[in-house]
Amino acid sequence: MLKGCPFGTHRVLEPKGTMPQAAIKIDNTMEIKNNELLIDVMTLNIDSASFTQIKDVCNKDSQKMEDMINEIVEERGKMQNPVTGSGGMLIGTIKEIGEDFPDKTLKVGDKIATLVSLSLTPLKIEKIKNINLSNDQVDIDGQAVLFETGLYAVLPSDIPEKLALAALDVAGAPAQVERLVKEGDTVCIIGGGGKSGVLCAYQAMKNAGDSGKVIVIEYSKENAQKIIDLGLAHHVIIADATKPLDVYSKVEAITGTDVCDVVINNVNVANTEMSSILITKDDGIVYFFSMATSFTKAALGAEGVGKDVQMIVGNGYAKGHADLTLGIIRESQTIRELFEKLYV
């Protein structure tokens, strides 16, 4: 067994010289190098933007979705939606550990969730067993490879596996909220009704404190009511985030012209960049967690309206993000119960 590149570049087939995430095709041979892990995969959690795009193109037809997912993996060697460029993550059981894999505490048979994107993870699907249209999860028989530098978490015993998978898939979002939001801040969560939005709203309420203000914008009346029932915002606005002037006027009615210190964008549809930017005050922060974001539209759009805001790319990794996110599930019984209904 030979040692591979720690970053997985030895598996890039085309174009040569790129990293696995940027590659069009990678080698998904399930014979591992001595610094890789081999995983028997149970479930894929396809990221929301990607799953929504596949579901819409296939008109919610499960067989068409299955064919499309299989086609992507066969062509690319990984689950990377060619439209959104994004992937998701997985849970599975460790089948084989390369002798030079750095973590010596892992054992064959451990159940783990990968914390790196499926868009860079070598994957082979033998059979798709179930596609859950309501929660973005796909049960499969298959295998995957994790590189030496790949992040993962051993699944906790006190939280159901699929619930943990769903939460860990978006763990970077609430972790960034914990970093960005200060006591007394006015915060807006765009797309607050999904799993990342719920976790972000919880953390924003915690950080902003009694002197702060948390606003959630939701397109769906049902999701808006969910946020109200969970007590995860001071104000809930029903609005279409692809219509920036409408969003701006509704937020300004609550905040005045100062608008927001921090805006978190969690939506899974395109063209919401300007709503996020308009409701952020000069010198404020916009965190684009959404993989549907066009960073060209965001950068040039902010320039076009004369907004001097700090825009942060939604890096799915932040130190301690898994522990923080699982901690929210343990702290909040209402969020845990909500996630159990959706994912267990």
Angle between helices 333-343 and 195-208 (to 10 degrees): 170
Over 80: is that where the pLDDT of 157 sits?
Answer: yes
Return the bridge partners of 84, or none. Answer: none
% of the chain with per-residue pLDDT over 70: 100
CB 251 within 8 A of CB 188: yes
From first CA to last CA, the distance across the chain in angstroms is: 39
The whole-angstrom separation of Cα 117 and Cα 105 is 23
- What pLDDT score does 27 carry? 97
- What pLDDT score does 39 carry? 98
- What pLDDT score does 281 carry? 97
Residues 6+ apart with CB under 8 A from 300: none
CATH architecture group of domain 172-338? 3-Layer(aba) Sandwich (3.40)
Cα distances from 277 to residues 40, 179, 186, 245, 257, in angstroms, run 42, 20, 14, 11, 14
Residue 41 Cα to chain centre, angstroms: 19
Mean predicted confidence (pLDDT) in 50-64: 96
The whole-angstrom separation of Cα 143 and Cα 132 is 20
Cα Rg, the chain, nearest whole Å:
20
Residues 6+ apart with CB under 8 A from 258: 186, 281
Instruction: Give residue 98's identity as a one-letter amino acid code.
Output: G
The whole-angstrom separation of Cα 23 and Cα 1 is 24
Per-residue pLDDT of 248-302, as tens digits, reads 999 999 999 999 999 999 998 899 999 999 999 999 999 999 888 998 999 999 9
- What pLDDT score does 273 carry? 97
Residue 268: its H or E element = none
Dihedral angle sign, alpha carbons of residues 287, 292, 297, 299: positive
The whole-angstrom separation of Cα 191 and Cα 4 is 40
- What pLDDT score does 1 carry? 62
**Position of tokens 């295998």?**
143
Domain ranges of the chain: 9-155, 172-338
Cα distances from 131 to residues 121, 124, 170, 221, in angstroms, run 20, 17, 19, 26
Burial string for 284-310 (b: 16+ CB within 10 Å, else e) reads bbbbbbbbbbeeebbeebbeeeebebe
pTM score: 0.87
Cis preceding linkage at 15, omega within 30: yes
**Position of tokens 């985030």?**
241
Per-residue pLDDT of 195-251, as tens digits, reads 999 999 999 999 999 999 999 999 999 999 999 999 999 999 999 999 999 999 999
Residue 244 Cα to chain centre, angstroms: 23
Average pLDDT of the chain? 95
